[in-house]
Amino acid sequence: MIAAYALVPVYALPLALAVAGWARHHARRTRRNRDLLSHNRAAGLAEPPSLHPRIDPARCIGCGACVRACPEHDVLGLIGRTATLIEPWACVGHGVCRDACPAGAITLVFGTPTRGIDVPVLGPGGETSIPGIHIAGELGGLGLIRNAITQGSATIDHMAAALKTAPSDDRLDVVIVGCGPAGLAAALGAMAHGLRFVAIDQASLGGSVAHYPRGKLVMTAPATLPLIGEVRLGAISKEGLLHFWQDVLARTGLAPRFEERVRTVEREGDGFVVITDHARHRTRRVLLATGRGGTPRRLHVPGEDLAKVVYRLSDPGQYAEQRIVVVGGGDAALEAAIALAEVPGTTVTLVHRGAGFARARAANRMAVEHLEAAGTITVHRHTQPVAITPDTIAIASPDGTHNLANDAVIACLGGTMPREWLAHIGVAVETHHGLPMGPDLVQPSASSALST
């Protein structure tokens, strides 16, 4: 019979090899993630654009569940035994990392100590500082189609529960302003609850999606739409997504009022009057789901009111044989430059004030770098426009100001929160440097959101 001690090498050696292999893998992974984080910091890509995870290293157990759960590649990674946001610029606020963490070490937050984000003060159900006026979707700080749909549906559920306890009258139950994903989900939810409502949009179906460049792919995570059920579209073109929304309208009978701009919202007793350029809608509650893209951030330079200056690219083909300057460093700017570079005879120049494209996805950055190396696109970094004339654009850089011959300027600078309009109707907005979200991903936690 073999002595027990004689079996020790039989078991110890494989175990030692397994531990050594795991240690090497762990060291390589840590080194790789640390290098990637350092690269992003050096390239100016260290600031997340909106909602993102804040990880408490004292509570993180290093299990990697958040890394595996994140649907975006390389946003999170383990450095040592701690999860870290290694590619902050690519985080788009899915929120699944928080749900996957078994130790409760992740909080979803708005803004960072160095980059503030304007967020309306919201309470339960997305209710603003004006009782009865609610906000859902991108206007409240949440990006992503899935998040907007979830919040729009949840906000209507909250409203419906509150309205059941109030006496009914001849007013509408709710006016929904905006027909993007949040507004449409809210409208479908209102139909499901049997509420009396109107849905209004100053433009057309789809919200900001309708203004994406032709053929742009949109990534949509699975979501649940009232009256429709679970929707799984995956990667879908702008046109495909708009066709889906049109089919939803046809199937449900939902009939939004398009091309109707809201001028103001006035208090009337215990309700409101929503005044548009076509009508006055008396209502008990209001849901603002307008997004931020409806108010483009402007250049604020002489000549920006010239007809050749626009703030979004709709049809690249219209710029054939022209000299185009695209201003910006986010996905919209890079995608516009890429699309224009495919138009025969078009000369494309990309002007960006930063060193790196901090708000753009890796695929877009790599595409622009490839086109720049091939000489198809000219990129000016650390540069910004200072004046525009009918035939030129002046750009300022560290080595001086230069005039470029130019036929059109496309400024893709993102949208600004309509603070003045919100302030006019009394809705409070704060700039936050780390505002936490509540566990339902619908509104900020009450203790933070209601502090002033």
Secondary structure class of 419 (helix, strand, coil): helix
CA distance 266 to 215: 40
pLDDT above 70 for 451: no
Q: How confident is the model at residue 439 (pLDDT cuts 50, 70, 90)?
A: very low
Give per-residue pLDDT as tens, 218-240: 656 778 899 998 888 777 777 78
Which has the higher per-residue pLDDT, 156 or 433?
156
Q: Specify the DSSP element, H or E, that contains 187.
A: helix 181-193
pLDDT given at position 3: 57
pLDDT on residue 315:
80
Could you tell me which residue, 359 or 55, shows the higher pLDDT?
55
Tokens at 421, concatenated: 């309009």
CA dihedral 326→241→87→341, nearest 10 degrees, is -30
**CA dihedral of 295, 297, 299, 303, whole degrees rounded to 10:** -10
pLDDT at residue number 288: 95
C-alpha angle 50-56-62 in degrees, rounded to nearest 5 = 110
Edge-to-edge order in the sheet of strand 392-397: 384-388, 392-397, 400-405
Residue 20 has pLDDT above 90, yes or no: no
Q: What b-and-e string marks burial along 416-426, b requiring 16 or more CB atoms within 10 Å of the CB?
A: ebbeebbeebe
- Reduce the DSSP state of residue 185 to 3 states and report it: helix
Angle (deg, nearest 10), helices 238-252 and 181-193: 10
SS3 118: strand
Share of the chain above pLDDT 90, in %: 43
pLDDT tops 50 at residue 186: yes
**pLDDT-based confidence at 40, cuts 50/70/90?**
confident
What would the mean pLDDT of 101-122 be, rounded to a whole number? Answer: 85
Non-local CB neighbours of 395 within 8 Å, separated by 6+ positions:
351, 380, 383, 384, 385, 386, 401, 402, 404
Alpha carbons 255 and 16: distance in angstroms, whole number = 68
Rounded to whole angstroms, the Cα distance separating 378 from 369 reads: 10
Question: Which pair of structure tokens corresponds to residue 383?
Answer: 């540069």
User: Which residue did the predictor score with more confidence, 420 or 329?
Assistant: 329
DSSP 189: H
Q: Please enumerate in sequence order all residues whose Cβ is within 8 A of that of 410, keeping only pairs 6 or more positions apart, or say none.
A: 310, 311, 312, 313, 324, 325, 326, 327, 336, 340
pLDDT given for residue 17 in this prediction: 72
pLDDT at 452 over 60: no
pLDDT for 137:
87
Q: DSSP strand E in 91-130: where? A: 106-110, 117-120
Per the prediction, the chain carries an average pLDDT of: 84
> Which span out of 37-46, 135-144, 214-223, 423-432 was modeled with the highest average pLDDT?
423-432
Q: Which residue has the tokens 């390239």?
A: 43
Residues contacting residue 22 through CB under 8 Å, at least 6 positions apart: none
- At 12, the amino acid letter reads A
Beta-strand pair 271-276/262-268: antiparallel
Domains of the chain and CATH, by start = 4-110 (3.30.70.20), 117-295+416-449 (3.50.50.60), 309-411 (3.50.50.60)
List the structure tokens of 38: 């350092």
pLDDT of the residue at 194: 94
Residue 183: the pLDDT is 93
275 token code pair: 């005044």
Close Cβ partners of 368 (under 8 Å, ≥ 6 residues apart):
334, 337, 338, 350, 357, 360, 377, 379
Calculate Rg over the CA atoms of the chain.
25
Averaged pLDDT for residues 327-339: 91
For the segment 245-266, what is each residue's pLDDT rounded down to a tens digit?
A: 899 999 999 999 998 989 899 9
**Position 279 confidence tier, pLDDT thresholds 50, 70, 90:** very high
DSSP E strand boundaries for 132-171: 133-135
One-letter amino acid identity for 1? M
CA pair distance 190, 136, nearest whole angstrom? 14
Under 8 Å between Cβ of 404 and 392? yes
